[in-house]
Amino acid sequence: MGCLFFSKSSQKISILGLFALWGFETNKGMETPDGCIGEDIPLDELWENAYSFGKSGQFNEARLCFERYAIRDPSKDKSWCLLSEIHARMGNPQGAVRHASVAARISGHNQSGAEALFLLANGHMAMNRFDLARQLYYRAIRVDPGHVSSMVNLGVVLGNNNDYNEAIPVYRRALAIDPTIMAARHNLGSALHTAKRFG
């Protein structure tokens, strides 16, 4: 699931401060694509170019373009979410966590906020920080009680910790919202079997 689609000056300054703290990835040997060069490129065109690179699997190019977009409009949480997704696809969970953290900070308590927390949890899960991932999935579900992706991944984290009795109602809740999620259906069956066998 991709991140869903305000700019007060004080918020913009604090967000830009995060650039100094974290910075973007170094672009060694990587030239910025033509469709992303120049301050005169309209933001909507820059966005479309970045999105097109990502959809075609050109993740480095998409990353560079979205970074330029984020510098010009740091208050748009979706660009930070997409940067997080790109870093995750490139096998860089640290980068995914950095960008999802910014998205979570600026998106608020809405569907975008839940998606940012979901991506942040995914990054921590990829780095085997399961307790932190569990907390973030629960937070995402509190923000958006219908966020089934967080429910499914939360169930995985709980199952990995042998908390099958806690995972079972989470999977059932996800399936009540969307019965077509095969991962939830399969994992629920496994959790029920394991809980019955060892519970």
Residue 13: the pLDDT is 31
Residue 3: the pLDDT is 53
> Which spans in 144-181 are helix H?
148-160, 164-177
Residue 195 burial (10 A CB sphere; 0-12, 13-18, 19+): middle
Residue 31: the pLDDT is 65
Q: State which amino acid sits at residue 38.
A: G
**Integer CA distances (angstroms), 162 to 76, 155, 156, 165, in order:** 38, 10, 10, 8
Residue 199: the pLDDT is 59
Q: In this structure, what DSSP letter does residue 110 have?
A: S
Residues 56 and 40: their CA atoms lie apart, in Å, by 25
Task: Go through the domains of the chain in sequence order and give each one's CATH number.
Answer: 1-107 (1.25.40.10)
Per-residue pLDDT band at 197 (split at 50, 70, 90): confident
Residues 150 and 170: their CA atoms lie apart, in Å, by 10
Averaged pLDDT, 171-181: 98
Q: Cα angle vertex 139, ends 157, 166, to 5°?
A: 40
Residues 130 and 118: their CA atoms lie apart, in Å, by 13
pLDDT per position as a tens digit, 30-71: 566 877 877 789 999 999 999 999 999 999 999 999 999 999
pLDDT per position as a tens digit, 107-159: 988 889 999 999 999 999 999 999 999 999 999 999 999 999 999 999 999 99
Q: Which residue has the tokens 């998106």?
A: 107
Nearest partner of 187 among 177, 198, 163, judged by Cα: 163
Residues 150 and 187: their CA atoms lie apart, in Å, by 14
Percent of the chain with pLDDT over 90: 75
Nearest partner of 107 among 10, 1, 11, 9, judged by Cα: 11
